[in-house]
Amino acid sequence: MSPVKLYGIPRSRAFRCLLALEETGIPYELVATDYREGCKTEAFRKLNPNAKIPVLVDGDLCLWESLAINLYLFRKSGTLWPKTPEDEARLFQWTLWTATEAEPAQGAWFYNTKFLPPEERDPAQAEKGAEKLRACLAVLDQHLADRPYLCGEAWSAADLQVSSVLYTSWANGFDYGPYPRAKAWLERCLNRPAALKARGMREAA
């Protein structure tokens, strides 16, 4: 299998795809491309007209959107793709929930407490994001009341999608204390050997 190319850097949303690549074992090459100048070049815009990382190139396929890239990698791997229509539906549900509910909430909190220069931060937006993120974590915590992983007894691609995104708030000190089941689940997901490898790249950068 010739290696796929992932454009991005570990300290970006490319981290989610690094996690999927490490979990699937698909050979890959990381093409260092940052989210400031790196993704704004004319050549890069040919890969992603949104001028954002990550991008995955696999032969003729050029794909953007981190969680869609992961869905492709799960399918390609043959090992992480769900075996039943029900688990496939659960994977889509959690992926879309992550993209439309959890990530925007987390982003509003993270950008306005950590990422933006202090003078550009808006405390009201940060609190609004935190409130929505707390609501998401409450949903997650409740869901995990009677199962260790999102689709039941075993870790699956759905866990990877959600945990790879929530990594940002977890690693940046969001208070997970009121959500002990979600916190323990996240720690299980993010301490898997493949996750530790991806985290090693990110946390060393």
Measured between alpha carbons, how far is 142 from 9 in angstroms, rounded to an integer? Answer: 34
Q: Does the protein bind ligand GSH through residue 183 (CB under 6 A)?
A: no
Length of the chain: 205
CB 55 within 8 A of CB 64: yes
Q: Does the protein bind ligand GSH through residue 20 (CB under 6 A)?
A: no
Measured between alpha carbons, how far is 79 from 40 in angstroms, rounded to an integer? Answer: 35
Residue list 75-94, contact with ligand GSH (CB under 6 A): none
Residue nearest to ligand GSH (CB): 52
Strand 61-64: give its sheet, edge to edge.
28-32, 4-8, 55-58, 61-64
Q: How many residues bind ligand GSH (CB under 6 A)?
A: 9
CB 144 within 8 A of CB 162: no
In the list 4, 6, 12, 20, the residue contacting ligand GSH (rule: CB under 6 A) is 12
Q: Does the protein bind ligand GSH through residue 202 (CB under 6 A)?
A: no
Q: How far is the CB of 15 from ligand GSH (least distance, A)?
A: 8
Q: Does the protein bind ligand GSH through residue 134 (CB under 6 A)?
A: no
Nearer to ligand GSH, 54 or 82 (CB): 54
In the list 58, 63, 66, 157, the residue contacting ligand GSH (rule: CB under 6 A) is 66
Q: Does the protein bind ligand GSH through residue 101 (CB under 6 A)?
A: no
Nearer to ligand GSH, 12 or 113 (CB): 12
Residue list 36-65, contact with ligand GSH (CB under 6 A): 39, 52-54, 65
> Which residues contact ligand GSH (rule: CB under 6 A)?
12-13, 35, 39, 52-54, 65-66
